[in-house]
Amino acid sequence: MRVLQEAAGWAARAAQRFWSRLREWCGDAAYERYLRSNARNSGTGRVLNAREFYVEQTTRRYSQPNRCC
């Protein structure tokens, strides 16, 4: 019984690590990372809400010249 509980715990931790890495890879966790960074670094500035953050991120990404075409 204990072996099954340990295996289930290991599988749950592995699934959680996989999910968090997948969210980091696809950019879904960017806002949470922004909040942690803002709290750690300044904490005094205005904090963007999720919508403002993604609009600002998209504007920053596409406002620079693109050399692909």
Q: Between 62 and 56, where is the model more confident? A: 56
pLDDT tens figures, 1-36: 889 899 999 999 999 999 989 988 988 889 998 988
Q: Residue 68 is which amino acid? A: C
Match 């072996």 to its residue by tokens. 3
Cα–Cα distance for residue pair 60/26, rounded to 1 Å? 18
Write b or e for each residue in 42-64: b if 16 or more Cβ atoms lie within 10 A of its Cβ, otherwise e.
eeeeeebeeeebeeeeeeeeeee
Q: What is the pLDDT of residue 43?
A: 63
Higher pLDDT, 15 or 44: 15
DSSP-based helix, strand, coil % in the chain, nearest 5: 70, 0, 30
